[in-house]
Chain A
Amino acid sequence: MSYFRITLVRSAIGLPRRTTDVLKALGLKKRMATVFHAVSPSVAGQIMKVKELVEVREVERRLTKQEVHLERKPDPGYYVEKVGRSEFDESRRV
């Protein structure tokens, strides 16, 4: 099963009403929003209507909203150390 990963990169402000409606039908409400749709002719037709506004990739799997968010999340630059005791217990368990 393959999917279209569609990201809205340009807004449809000031464009014809139909364009906004197509974006709404695809589930794209604001810029940089990402949606996944199974590859099908009808979705392809919808993408064609808004081809100037979106970026499309073909992916194998539908990502959750959380996973899409984590892709964009920068490295925090730190990590939290575990308490000595719990680390000791973990090493014992293995």
Chain B
Amino acid sequence: MFKPTSPLLSGLLWKIPWRLSAPQKARQRKRLRSVDKVIDTVTAALYKKGFTAKAVEQWNHEMPREEEMLPKDKYTIFDRKEKKYRKGIHKLPKWTRVSQRVNPPGF
């Protein structure tokens, strides 16, 4: 049976929902925590040996942990072209495998 939906009527049309679903958000939190865990392990191991690494120091200095982040920053990202300057983080290319934690202050 033919359903006159937009993807069928006009060929290639991807429908990306404007917000994340609850399980997507849960998985996003899980990924954030897994990155935190890696950082913690590396920091602890280096500390025990008395080493320091610039990349690790900088991350620990600048980046919030999962539990310190606002929901706004966990699930959305700044975009200057968007109304209210925010769009879902799932619009970011490769969003499940890149770190995007901080946004411009005030937005």
Interface residues of A (CB under 8 A from B): 2, 4, 10, 12, 14-15, 39-42, 44-45, 47-49, 51-58
Find residues 1-56 in chain B having any chain A CB closer than 8 Å to their own CB. 31, 34-35, 37-39, 41-42, 44-46, 48-49, 51-56
Number of interface residues of B (CB under 8 A): 25
Looking across the interface, which residue of chain A has its beta carbon closest to that of B40?
Answer: A56
Interface residues of B (CB under 8 A from A): 31, 34-35, 37-39, 41-42, 44-46, 48-49, 51-56, 59, 94, 96-99
B38 touches A54 (CB 8 A): yes
B38 touches A56 (CB 8 A): yes
Which of these, B31, B45, B48, B51, contacts A52 with CB under 8 Å?
B31
Grouping DSSP codes into helix (H, G, I), strand (E, B) and loop, the A interface class, with mixed when no group exceeds half, is mixed
Residues on the A chain within 8 Å of B41, using CB = 4, 56-58
Residues on the B chain within 8 Å of A56, using CB = 37-38, 41-42
Which of A4, A41, A58: most chain B CB closer than 10 A? A41
A41 touches B35 (CB 8 A): no
Q: A39-B45, A45-B53, A47-B42 are in contact. List 5 more A-B contacts (CB 8 A).
A: A15-B94, A42-B53, A48-B55, A52-B99, A58-B44
A48 touches B35 (CB 8 A): no
